[in-house]
Amino acid sequence: MPVTREARPAGGAFIDFDPQATSLEIRGFGLRYGDKPALHDLTLRVPRHRVTAFIGPSGCGKSTLLRALNRLHDLNEEVVQEGEIRLEGQDIHAPEVAVAELRRRVGMVFQAPNPFPMSIYDNVAFGLRLQGGLRKRRLDDIVEWALHSAALWDEVKDRLRASAWSLSGGQQQRLVIARTLAVGPEVLLLDEPASALDPISTLKVEELIRNLKASLTLVLVTHNMQQAARVSDYTAFLQNGELVEYAPTDTLFTNPRLRRTENYITGRMA
Ligand SMILES: Nc1ncnc2c1ncn2[C@@H]1O[C@H](COP(=O)(O)OP(=O)(O)OP(=O)(O)O)[C@@H](O)[C@H]1O
């Protein structure tokens, strides 16, 4: 008897990689803003040194989930969370975890580039100086390395003392990525990092994301399904705060298991 659509599984994570390759593990995670539920019982593993995309309709909870991964909800007294998030096996809410150190390990880049009002060099050196203890030569080396890693060095090497605000929007976004990379994160969270950029800058940021996975784990929130298809290895589709389907990106876009996913990716549902 042929397998019908209805016989397909109800939802969830359809990927199975070696547990040893897990960077972040989300288990039974839920979140509400006061009385308003935003995420329900999410369980998924994010693989190390891969790009994982979160997609779904506006308001489905993508950014809420991303922000939970480096505890950006901590200061919002309305937020109530349940379940667990583990980074390399350790509960990120454990009392011994210092939130500043967590955010060094799990860096975040937002939609609008937000360089600080200071020079290109000082932006990249900012976090390193806060940590303290580095000699000028070492600081110079790390700043150069971070700018190279963010594919910006060649464009700024002759004007490191110029204001960061003199850069184009696309360059500013790569500067912010360099600033985040300088403190040596293991995970980079990207919330719509290219949505404010022109097409050429967008392609540069996408190429950068693909290249960075050699040294980092990346999690990308995007509205743009073509972008998720171009840069990510795995894609999680969220709807109404639930994980509908999580699969290798090629599979999710060409052969989704669930009709809800298919309807979304074929544009039958906004
Ligand atoms: N600070 C907040 N206080 C109250 N409700 C919030 C807050 N932030 C988000 N929400 C609500 O939580 C739900 C999920 O929002 P979230 O921004 O995570 O969705 P999203 O999928 O990232 O949306 P978009 O693609 O439009 O950015 C929405 O209903 C939103 O209105």
Span from the CA of 25 to the centroid of ligand 1 (angstroms)? 22
Give this prediction's pTM. Answer: 0.93
159 lines ligand 1 (CB under 6 A): no
> pLDDT at position 6, please?
41
Tell me which residue of 38, 39, 43, 37 sits closest to 12, measured CA to CA.
43
Say if ligand 1 is within 6 A of residue 40 CB: no
Ligand 1 atom closest to Cα of residue 66: 18
- Sorted by where each begins, the domain ranges of the chain are 22-266
Residue 88 near residue 255 (C-beta atoms within 8 A): no
The atom of ligand 1 lying closest to the CA of 192 is: 27
Low pLDDT (below 50) residues in the chain: 1-8, 270
Q: Assess: ipTM above 0.85.
A: yes
pLDDT at 9: 53
Give 41-82 pLDDT, tens digit per residue: 999 999 999 999 999 999 999 999 999 999 999 999 999 999
Q: Is residue 38 within 6 Å of ligand 1 at its C-beta?
A: yes
How far is it, in rounded angstroms, from Cα 237 to Cα 12?
9
pLDDT tens, 131-153?
A: 888 899 999 999 999 999 999 99
Domain 22-266 -> CATH class: alpha beta
- Which is nearest to 67 in space by CA: 48, 57, 56, 81? 81
